[in-house]
Structure 1
Amino acid sequence: MKIRQDIIDQIKGRIDIVEVLDDFLTLKRVGQSYRALSPFTDEKTPSFYVSPSKGIFKDFSSGKGGDAIAFIMELEGLSYLEAIKYLGKKYGIEIEEEAQTDEEIAQQNERESLYIALSFANEYYQNLLWHHTDGKAIGHSYFKERGFTDQIIKEFELGYSLDIWDGLMKEALDKGFKQEVLEKAGLIIAKEDKRYDRFRGRVIFPIHNITGKPIAFGARTLVSDKKQPKYINSPETEIYHKSKVLYGIHQAKQAIRQADNCFLVEGYTDVISMHMAGVKNVVASSGTSLTDEQIKLINRYTRNITVLFDGDAAGIRASIRGVDMILETGMNVKVVVFPDGEDPDSYARKSGSAQFQEYLQKESQDFIRFKISGYAKEGVGDPVKKAETIRNIVESISKIPDAIQRAVYIQESSKLLDIDESILIAEQNKILIKKHKEQRREKSSQQVEEEALLDKLAQADEEQAALAEVDALMWQEKESVRILLTYGTNEVEDDVKLSQYMLHELEEISFNTPIYSEILTTIKEHLKKGVWIDVDYFLNHGSEEVKQEVIDLTTEKFDISENWYEMYKIHVAREPEKIDDVAFTNIHRLKWRFIQKKIDSYLAQLKQESDPDKQISLQKIIKSYKTTEMEIASVLGNVVSR
């Protein structure tokens, strides 16, 4: 099926890029724009910018840019139609689809096929839970025994799989799904002699991506059989990589941003029980060791993580090793430990909402202090054990990127461990020096390559000088296109648009850079028909190269705060206030560069020319251009020395 164009247009007309991106990032207003940490790279300083007026984003750290649809596609790995469907659902626009031809079906993206198959399976499992006799008697009863309400069961889309070999597979094949797609989605297992459902006789926990699409499943058995694992999970697929996913992130993302804190637990039921207790800013690593990708996912919404530990020593020690990774990112880490034998799920159900929330607040403690107190007890009366404890704690502190924060923790560790601060600093320095040496060794091969490259560059001075001239002309062409796209409809005089003035002045100049020539030509062709095209036209109809260039041209990385004048009583003219002068200066600089290029071209011809008459003719042309060059330089205030 495909979406009708009028529906796509309706969705595009409703899109507010800030509203869409705010579901994925913590945006902060800066002047007329918004800024955030890049979701595509690991950065500490925000370089991701959003322009509400233009409806585009630009990520200066990765170079990516586009509209809200492009962002959804890039971040979530969705096809264009899947991104449109997501946005349609967000804005409550009913998606009406048209039948596809056989050729269109054959060309359907494989990733989209997986999403469709998983969505079908999710609905199938939910339908069994609510309507099938076994689903209601076994699956639904189990969830009710755990205290889950119908509302929470529906919110997390919990389901049930029948205890038969091919229930899902038969249903899916009857609906037209290909066996190959079901296998790639991890829904069935294929062996030489048979194929059967992966999940049988289990309650189902769907795993969603940030946009709410099911991408995998976790399934729990309800029988005591040591031959069967308690939980089984979907295998890795093209759209599911467990190291990059957090269970519950779709339901928790807004609450995490609002609370400016994320609770991190281990299992599915921990997340659901905490939601039941009124704590919605919680996600689970789903039994896997914490990964860099999962930490980055949380970091989109908050800089604060609170790790919840089950009340057993072995589990705490195993989890602590993963928390050091969070410290390396510069995030703030706190810890809550539950009583012995308890976990977030059991304690939330036992204590009730108010008491559970009070416990989280009361027992929350800084991770480093928690580690110091815990390890300090182990080292009592055992000098060797205490020395190991000290090194372990200093190792964690050394991972913190902020030097002042490290110094504070070193001071506190000195007091709690009763050891001289200088010894801790010396040990920390050893660790930092060792780490620095390892990083230098990793970079040594890169440095060799860089030195070789520098040698090549040093041998190409003349070529670089020539390129500099080309770059100067290219920059003026680029600036001309930027001004046209941004301010083309501004009036410079009564009934005279800036675009009319600029295009008249550029009439006899041909652009040297292909992409700017293409954009300028497209603008001219439409103006001949009386149609002015802006950024939106190029984003919807331009090639991928043109789209990215238009985004780069019209996205400002820096913007003057609206409060600047009120704070400092200093007026800084914004570009729109002086656009007439900006356009006038740019046109003359472009002409100056264009004429210089012409002079260089004729000088090169003159050197090769042996005919005296032709030499005289070339000299006259050069002199004429030189005169024009001087006139323009005088207007610009330039001193020409060539």
Structure 2
Amino acid sequence: SGRTRLYAANTAAADWFRAQLASPEADAGRRFLGERGFDAGAAAHFGIGYAPKGWNGLRDALKAQGFSDDEMLAAGLLSQGQRGAYDRFRGRVVWPIRDITGQTIGFGARRLFDDDNGPKYLNTPETPIYKKAQVLYGLDLAKKAITRDHRVVVVEGYTDVMACHLAGVTTAIATCGTAFGSDHISVLRRVMGDDSTSGEVIFTFDPDAAGQKAALRAFGDEKRFAAQTYVAVAPDGLDPCDLRLSRGDAAVRTLVETKAPMFEFVIDQRLSGFDLATVEGRVGALRATAPVVADIRDQALRPGYTRVLARKLGMDLGEVTPAVERAARASRASHHDTGPRQETSSRRDAPRHTGAARHGARTS
């Protein structure tokens, strides 16, 4: 069938790219990997390859194996120009992106050369078998550990997934050039068996503004996981790849263990926008944060986190508790109005993020 040929073309391309990584021209690719702490064994484990700079290397190799231009175009391996089809990936380190069964369905490729005017990271376009909204890099390697541990660590880039796995955090996965979204959650829920509250989803975010926005966006959809959701932010804002390079494997494992509940992270983010030294600032901050505590799924935890919020605000518990109760009533009313929510989630783009902190509660 057509789909079978697309899988076959991607598999053949993955084999060819992998072989090219040993070529003299791929020295820049090997150096890129080496500088990030990845040796030949690591490259082989993740099936990393190299796309040569020429326009027709892959095309000629796959033609010799009986694949047509139309099949390679449909698989996202070639691009169409005015003068005909040409290799989509050129002069780049290439990661094979596989589905949950381990079949190669596409590629992510990183620019290596200064004269390359293309994007830093280039992915396979949408094809009949590659849907970026559903694809999670590393899931084929992580699925067993995710199912066993009821835990998943969401990092940002291909190299972060590699660093985590090599450091022993084998539940790490990443999105491929798109935000973490509802389809990704559906995929993860199936793998985690996310019908209980015992699971953990740990997001690693950059501590910069974009990373904080990503965390808030993820929190907005976090309700769709039954699992407890956490945020990990590494010391000095290092992503897992850089953290492993500078501080070793143990630091990566510690990053994941020292996680903070997602809603606590969100509370701190929201409070940072107010001047708590003023009455007006405290009242505004209470309005902004009461709904976060009201949304904590486990009602037994809510009073304790109401006290935490009161302490952070420097307000009396008698002022904070009614605000949380009002927010909970408003949330129930709006939930009732809109009907049951769909099961799903959200997060930020492309290669690179990070994560830190404590033990967790869940939100609804």
State the TM-score bracket (shorter-chain normalisation).
Answer: 0.7 to 0.9
* Structure 2 residue aligned with 1:333: 229
1:511-530 alignment, distance < 5 Å: none
Query: CA, structure 1 residues 299+406, in 2 after alignment: closer, same or farther (shift >3 Å)?
Result: farther
Structure 1 unpaired stretches of 5+:
1-108, 441-642
* Residue 373 (str. 1) matches residue 268 (str. 2): yes
The residue that corresponds to 1:430 in the other structure is 330
What's 2:247 paired with? 351
Shift in alpha-carbon separation, 1:201–1:387, aligned structure 2, 3 A: farther
Equivalent position of 2:108 in the other structure? 218
| 1:384 CA drift (Å) | 5.9
Secondary structure at the aligned position of 1:329 is classed as coil
Shift in Å, 1:117: 0.5
Counterpart for residue 204 of structure 1:
94
- Pick from 140, 158, 164: which aligns with 2:54? 164
Q: Per-residue deviation at 1:171?
A: 1.4
- Please name the residue that 2:24 is paired with: 133
Shift of 1:341: 4.3
Paired amino acid for 2:137: Y
Query: Are 2:105 and 1:239 aligned?
Result: no
Q: Which amino acid aligns with 2:252?
A: F
Within 5 Å, which residues of 2 pair with 1:316-465? 316-361=212-257, 363-379=258-274, 380-381=276-277, 386=282, 389-397=285-293, 403-404=299-300, 409-410=305-306, 412-417=308-313, 418=315, 419-439=319-339
Partner of 1:123: 15
Cα deviation, residue 189, structure 1: 0.8
Cα displacement string for residues 525-550 of structure 1 (whole angstroms, at most 9, x for unaligned residues): xxxxxxxxxxxxxxxxxxxxxxxxxx
CA distance in 1, matches of 2:100, 2:60: 30
Helix, strand or coil at the partner of 1:148: coil
Pair 1:429–1:148, CA change in 2 (3 A)? same
What is the alpha-carbon distance in structure 1 between the residues aligned to residue 266 and residue 213 of structure 2? Answer: 10
Q: Quick check: 1:186 aligned with 2:45?
A: no
TM-score relative to the length of structure 2: 0.82
The alpha-carbon deviation at position 225 of structure 1 amounts to: 5.1
1:141 to partner: Cα distance? 2.6
Is 1:289 aligned to residue 176 of structure 2?
A: no
Inter-CA distance 405–228: structure 2 relative to 1 (3 Å threshold)? same
Change (3 A) 1:436 1:139: same
User: Quick one: distance in 1 between partners of 2:11 and 2:282?
Assistant: 54
Aligned-residue offset at 1:360: 3.0
Give deviations 1:298-339, integer Å, cap 9, x for gaps. Answer: 223432111112232332223321233122332201111123
Q: Distance in 1 between matches of 2:291 and 2:2?
A: 45
Match of 1:300, SS state, is helix
When residues 387 and 194 of structure 1 are mapped into structure 2, their CA distance, relative to the original with a 3 A threshold, is: farther
The amino acid that maps onto 2:134 is: K
1:370 CA drift (Å): 2.1
Paired AA for residue 208 in structure 1: R
User: How far 1:228 sits from its partner (Å)?
Assistant: 2.4
Q: What stretches of structure 2 of length at least 5 have no aligned partner?
A: 193-198, 341-364
Partner SS, residue 420 of structure 1:
helix
Q: Do the aligned residues in 2 keep the contact of 1:410 with 1:425 (CA within 8 Å)?
A: no
Tell me which stretches of 4 or more aligned residues in structure 1 moved more than 6 Å. Answer: none
If you compute each CA radius of gyration, which structure gives the higher value, 1 or 2? 1
Report the counterpart of residue 174 of structure 1 in structure 2: 64
Are the structure 2 counterparts of residues 405 and 111 from structure 1 closer, same or farther at C-alpha, using a change threshold of 3 Å? farther
Alpha-carbon contact 1:310-1:344 (below 8 Å) kept: no
Partner in structure 2 of residue 280 of structure 1:
170
Contact 2:230 2:262 in 1 (8 A): yes
Q: Secondary structure at the match of 1:236?
A: coil
Q: How far 1:122 sits from its partner (Å)?
A: 0.4
* Deviation by residue 1:241-275 (Cα, 9 ceiling, x = unmatched): 11111111111112223333211111111111112
1:324/1:396 contact within 8 Å kept: no
Quick one: distance in 2 between partners of 1:357 and 1:309?
16
Higher RCO (CA < 8 A, seq sep 6+): 2
Deviations 1:543-566 (A, max 9, x none): xxxxxxxxxxxxxxxxxxxxxxxx
Give the C-alpha shift of residue 150 in structure 1: 1.8
The two structures, once aligned, show a CA RMSD in angstroms of 2.4
> How big is the shift at 1:383?
5.8
Contact 2:52–2:90 (Cα < 8 Å) also in 1? yes
In structure 1, the residue matched to 2:118 is 228
Q: In 2, Cα distance between the equivalents of 1:328 and 1:399?
A: 12
Percent identity of paired positions between Structure 1 and Structure 2 = 31
Tell me the SS of whatever aligns to 1:378.
coil
Alpha-carbon distance between aligned partners in 1 of 2:52 and 2:266, rounded to the nearest angstrom = 46
Which whole-Å CA distance do the structure 2 matches of 1:168 and 1:394 have between them? 56
With 247-256 and 408-417 compared, the bigger mean Cα shift is at 408-417
Name 2:343's counterpart in structure 1. Answer: none
Partners in 2 of 1:344 and 1:252 — Cα distance? Answer: 16
C-alpha offsets along residues 455-474 of structure 1, whole Å, 9 cap, x if unaligned?
A: xxxxxxxxxxxxxxxxxxxx
Cα 1:438–1:168 change in 2 (3 A) is: same
Amino acid at match of 2:153: F
Per-residue CA shift, 1:499-535, capped at 9, x if unaligned? xxxxxxxxxxxxxxxxxxxxxxxxxxxxxxxxxxxxx
Q: Letter of the 1:372 partner, please give it.
A: I
Residue 167 of structure 1: how far off its partner (Å): 1.0
Aligned residues: 329
Contact 1:368 1:393 in 2 (8 A): no
Q: In 2, Cα distance between the equivalents of 1:287 and 1:371?
A: 24
Amino acid at match of 2:166: M
Q: Which amino acid aligns with 2:246?
A: K
Closer, same or farther: CA 328–164 of 1 in aligned 2, 3 Å: same
SS at match of 1:243: coil
- The correspondence for 2:207, drawn from 311, 329, 332, is 311
User: TM-score by structure 1 length?
Assistant: 0.48
> SS of the counterpart of 2:325?
helix
**C-alpha distance in 1 between matches for 2:338 and 2:70:** 46
**How far 1:425 moved relative to its partner?**
1.3
Mapped to 2, the partners of 1:292 and 1:112 lie a distance apart of: 27
Q: How far apart are the structure 1 equivalents of 2:282 and 2:89?
A: 48
